Homo-oligomer: A and B are copies of this chain.
Amino acid sequence: MAEVRNKQVILKDYVRGYPKESDMIVTSSTLKLKLPEGSKGVLVKNLYLSCDPYMRGRMSYRDSYVDSFNPASPISGYGVSKVLESGDPNLKEGDLVWGMTGWEEYSILNATQGLFKIHHSDHVPLSYYTGILGMPGMTAYVGFYELCSPKKGEYVYVSAASGAVGQLVGQFAKLLGCYVVGSAGSKEKVDLLKDKFGFDDAFNYKEEPDLDAALKRYFPEGIDIYFENVGGKMLNAVLLNVRNHARIPVCGMISQYNLEKPEGVHNLVQVIVRQVRMEGFVVGDYYHLYPKFLEFIMPDIRQGNIEYVEDIAEGLESGPAALVGLFSGRNVGKQVVVVSRD
């Protein structure tokens, strides 16, 4: 079997503060395109890689719900891959899968439990399995529907609203008949929220010196559901504007991931005053709902009721810049890295 040069993205060392493109290098090693004897895993060719905020945690050496990256190996993350060889009878050569893979051209995955077989149809781009049809889609679905029990007419606020998850939460809430406002960090993103995703309103948080005042303007009646993606000052301001029995699914706190000392949240007494439920969740606990999710979302995608915006970076070499760009908000929509289109 052929040996190939396998291009890879390696983390040079654990990161403190904001990650930089130069914290990673793109290098290559030699790989024999063959599964080890007796392997129950798969050899895959990686097509699309997903850039997700939670990956920041893996760049640090610390206790988290995901392991730290190993600085000697390629980093890993969600991606869409094509099976070249399989030791798992449920997968065969040519199958498409999504799940955890390496940031490299080819990966040998020793276990297949976390992989989802893609039943691909031409209605959707394959890259969607890094986003709306993959982990971020499930995250939006679980966080909004499973954790919030949302009702028509409720007031929903989404931060980081044009991102991989936020754009979906806002659209789910609109489809249900909620009043939805999103915030994002540029005029372009704010326009996207209002014009493409159909949010009732949207604002640029960078232009709001007083977030509490901004929220009072956009939610004079208060907030029933806050889909938490950013944390810190934003959460602090939201707590001053929640209605009774508000729900805050805590999906991410991207504003805090690069700080040596996270910001203090001072208004937690509101959790009692307004009987708020804040709930952190990890989408991996809910993957048994994935078939139900696909049934829910596929018709809306086909009928054009749900839009999805991706920000596509071409080539594995563009991976490090694409990944660190998440933390300065460079991406507009879901950040994807194309390794190969087939």
Contact = CB atoms under 8 A, between A and B. Distances in A.
A280 B247 CA distance: 10
B271 A282 contact: no
A29 interface: no
Contact of A268 (B244, B253, B275, B276): B253
Interface in A249-288: 250-253, 256-257, 261-282, 285
Copies per complex of this chain: 2
Contact of A252 (B235, B265, B272): B272
User: Which one of A266, A277, A279, A280 has the greatest number of beta carbons of chain B within 10 Å?
Assistant: A280
Interface string A97-130: 0000000000000000000000000000000000
Chain A interface extent, by class: 35 or more
B278 A282 contact: no
A132 B6 CA distance: 68
A contact face: mostly helix, strand, loop, or mixed:
loop
A15 to B, nearest CB: 16
A256 B276 contact: no
A285 B280 contact: no
9 contacts: A64-B273, A65-B272, A231-B269, A253-B272, A256-B269, A272-B281, A276-B279, A276-B280, A278-B278
Interface of A: 57, 63-65, 231, 235, 244, 250-253, 256-257, 261-282, 285
